[in-house]
Amino acid sequence: MTEVLGESVEAMQVAHEILERWQRLGLRGALLARNVDTSEQLGFAADEQFPLASVVKLPQALVLQDRIAHGRLDGAHLVSLEPAMATPGPTGAARFRHPARIAVEDLIYLTMSMSDNAAADALFALVPEDEVTAQLRAWGYEDIVIRHPMRALYDAVARWSDNDMRMALRMAAAATTSGGGHTLPVLDVSSGNVGTARALVTLVSDIWTDTVSVPAATARVRELMSTPVTRHRLGAELASDSVTVSSKTGTFLHARHEVGLVQTATGDRIAIAALTESSVPAEVQPEVDRAIGRAARLAVEVLRD
């Protein structure tokens, strides 16, 4: 049975309402929303691990900005990208047709604003996945584990379904077990890039309160989280002049995630992690994006001070 969290009757009711709506849509997922300043929270399945898709680019960005801030990595260092060697993806350098040289800090920007897989893997070549995970553990985030570059997702699909993304989607939607196991290793919690809603909300909260790394690094990550070119999940029902949503999405096969912080005009700061896996084998599922947006709005309404 899914554990539901809430520190008031209203919070528990809202968490149950969101969970029931997600289940009706065929979603398995985890949600946690926390008021950064009061620590009040609501959600469900907050300690269950999920493969993170492109959400891994958020902790990657923090580790890289930390190294830049400490002088261990030159943000102006130029990295050569060859299109023939680039990791696949729908945006950014992954779609380049000609060789390019891009500075490290600009690659980080591309990973956060466009969720650029080629940029992310160029950065993993500089600071490998095990080093990112080791730094996260040193900071206390033991439930965020990065084991492979973004390319591993596409290589696995190529082996699993002969590069047929529609077939892979059908198989992915049907193959997840209740314990997080999967026939595709990169989607299995024991071998993929994984995290929990609780760990991700704590990471976001710490970034906003400068209680991880150093202020120069966290300030830059906050800035990067305000730059995504797509804003159709957490902010779907919150978009207004009085609300700011800073976030990072993750999308791969049946997974649709978003992690971020909602700030209201009155100063409320709500960190949210929404992680979902759909049992519906469809590439386009706007109802899932809307369900994440509805969850964020309801959570903010309950948790704002």
Domains of the chain: 4-74+128-303 (3.40.710.10)
Compute the distance between CA of residue 154 and CA of residue 54 in angstroms, rounded to an integer.
13
pLDDT digits (tens, 9 = 90+) for 88-124: 999 999 999 999 999 999 999 999 999 999 999 999 9
Residues in the chain, how many? 305
Mean pLDDT of 189-213: 97
Chain-centroid distance of CA 100 in Å reads: 27
Q: Report the 10 Å Cβ neighbour count for 121.
A: 23
- DSSP class of residue 216 equals H
Percentages of the chain per state (helix, strand, coil), in multiples of 5: 45, 20, 35
Compute the distance between CA of residue 51 and CA of residue 180 in angstroms, rounded to an integer.
9
The yes-or-no verdict on residue 177 having pLDDT over 90 is no
Of 59-68, 100-109, 185-194, 296-305, give the lowest mean pLDDT range.
185-194
pLDDT digits (tens, 9 = 90+) for 67-97: 999 999 999 999 999 999 999 999 999 999 9
Compute the distance between CA of residue 77 and CA of residue 22 in angstroms, rounded to an integer.
44
Compute the distance between CA of residue 275 and CA of residue 290 in angstroms, rounded to an integer.
13
The yes-or-no verdict on residue 161 having pLDDT over 80 is no
pLDDT bin (cut points 50, 70, 90) of residue 179 is: low
Mean pLDDT of 12-24: 97
Compute the distance between CA of residue 132 and CA of residue 206 in angstroms, rounded to an integer.
17
Which pLDDT score is estimated for 178? Answer: 60
Which pLDDT score is estimated for 181? Answer: 67
2 contacts 20 by C-beta, under 8 angstroms? no
The yes-or-no verdict on residue 233 having pLDDT over 70 is yes
Mean pLDDT of 29-55: 97
- Per-residue b/e over 219-241, b at no fewer than 16 CB within 10 Å? ebbeebbeebeebebbbbbbeee
Q: What is the pTM of this model?
A: 0.95
- Residue 166's nearest CA partner among 288, 286, 283 is 283
Compute the distance between CA of residue 263 and CA of residue 244 in angstroms, rounded to an integer.
5
Which pLDDT score is estimated for 175? Answer: 66
